[in-house]
Amino acid sequence: MADTALRREGVIDVRIEATAKQGRRAFADHAADWKAHLTAKGNTAKHVLHMTGALERLNAKAKAETLADLTPARVQAAVGELRDEGASLRTCNHYLTAVKGFSRWAHRDGRLSADPLAGLSGFNVATDRKRQRRPLTADEAAYLLAQVECGPTWRGVPGVDVAMVYRLALGTGFRAAELRSLTRASFDLASDPPAVTVQAAYSKRRRDDRQPIRADLADRLRAYLADRDVDGPVLNVPERTGEMLRADLRRARARWIRETADGAERRTRRLSGFLAPVDAEGRVVDFHALRATYITLLVKGGATVRVAQELARHSDPKLTMNTYTKLGIHDLTGALDGLLGENAEGGPVIETVAATGTDDARGDDARSNRRSNRGADDRDRVRQGATKSALRMAGGDDENAGKTGGKCVSVRPDAAASGNAPRRTRTFNPLIKSQLLCQLS
């Protein structure tokens, strides 16, 4: 009834005619309007350039002259040509995201009566990852920072400034653009814990992000910021950060190889992947890999999935754990220590827990208490996979590590004995006291 009344008044006919006129306009004119729309929404110039550039490159294959030419068949054929030319599935998804965003805007703006590309879906990039990043180990990161800090300049940027850029990237997980935006007002080093804030205009998720940092990193920043200008960015983050990092990695790796005078050891170092920009598996280290390093070391240090997700500033925990967290075979093997084993006779092997020092009770006497505190015990087991070498690397005490069977267990000296309390009391705070991250500051 409503449509009939509108048709009598000529409203629907006017809308159809307006839509038809829009459809007859040149495709490039609509693309220019979409670019203006993206800019008006507050997107960064880089994002607008990426999206409009992808649309332009895709349409060079699709050859759509008007909006009516933007059909699913044309778009799929254009993406197929890009695939034949060697584009990865992730790159193809980028093109699809751009063109689908354009068609959705055209529909909402009344330029199309319906969204013709609403049914197009992206590719599963897990089946075709041509570029895989690898995180640095804590040893690699510490050695790199030491070499860069006293190293040569990079295109006019002193080594001490480059080292601080790397140190903040490893200590906060900030991206290059977010680091460039930091001013003196971004640092709150007197709070507990100290923190660095990225303004919403520069954050990828478009909101103010207050990121806690370690106290030792805050101490370094106080000394570094003392000589910085009050106004403007405090970090000198050059362009082509990936190229800069790879050059620093090659220089540090060459220095590391030359440090030994033993010929056999030198050959072993050349064959290793330590500080290699590209390892034997083809995984690369670029500037964004420093963010993967930050998240991976958080998880290795005992951070829960929820804490790691919050510090990574991700909306989806799957992105945190599947894409950014890179655990090696030794990390996974350490988790097996918590499983039930068997002795030579086929009987079960239950690991005897040593006395913790809280009282004189043996660990196996407290096993029944741990069963009643299953949740706390599960959280402890996350950290039991840490090896003795990792403890030494993080500044741990070998003697104390031996008392706990190599497990990274923290005990409060003032903890009172109780018949119902577990014999171990965790004081580890993964939010700001990740033991493995201490090498990065």
Give a three-class secondary structure readout of 394-408. Answer: CCCCHHHHHHCCCCC
Q: If you count them, how many residues does the chain have?
A: 441
C-alpha span between 336 and 331 (Å, rounded):
9
C-alpha span between 204 and 200 (Å, rounded):
8
Q: How many Cβ atoms are within 10 Å of 273's Cβ, its own excluded?
A: 16
C-alpha span between 54 and 349 (Å, rounded):
59
**Comparing C-alpha atoms, which of 327, 280, 274, 289 is closest to residue 144?**
274
Delimit the domains of the chain by residue range.
2-127, 131-327, 331-440
Beta strand segments in 4-45, E:
none
Cis amide bond preceding 193, omega within 30? yes
User: Residue holding tokens 């759509």?
Assistant: 64
Q: What is the pLDDT of residues 308-322, one digit of tens each?
A: 888 888 777 776 776
CATH number for the domain formed by residue range(s) 131-327: 1.10.443.10
- pLDDT of amino acid 47: 85
Which CATH architecture best describes the domain 2-127?
Answer: Orthogonal Bundle (1.10)
Task: List Cα–Cα distances, 117 to 55, 59, 61, 99, 305, in angstroms.
Answer: 13, 14, 16, 8, 36
Q: Name residues of the chain where pLDDT drops below 70.
A: 1-24, 126-131, 229-230, 319, 322-441
C-alpha span between 111 and 113 (Å, rounded):
7
C-alpha span between 246 and 252 (Å, rounded):
10
- pLDDT of amino acid 176: 92
Task: Put residue 228 in one of left, alpha, beta given phi > 0 → left and psi -120 to 50 → alpha.
Answer: beta
Q: What is the pLDDT of residues 185-219, one digit of tens each?
A: 999 999 999 999 998 878 777 778 899 999 999 99
**Comparing C-alpha atoms, which of 293, 404, 301, 288 is closest to residue 354?**
404
**pTM over 0.75, yes/no:** no
C-alpha span between 160 and 145 (Å, rounded):
9
Please, are residues 144 and 276 in contact by the beta-carbon 8 Å criterion?
no
Q: How many Cβ atoms are within 10 Å of 205's Cβ, its own excluded?
A: 11
Burial class of residue 58 (count of CB atoms within 10 Å of its CB; 0-12, 13-18, 19+): buried
Average pLDDT across the chain, whole number:
75
- Return the half-sphere exposure (C-beta side, CA atoms, 13 A cut-off) of residue 286: 14
- pLDDT of amino acid 399: 39
C-alpha span between 375 and 53 (Å, rounded):
51
Cis amide bond preceding 72, omega within 30? no
* Intra-chain end-to-end CA distance of the chain, in Å: 71
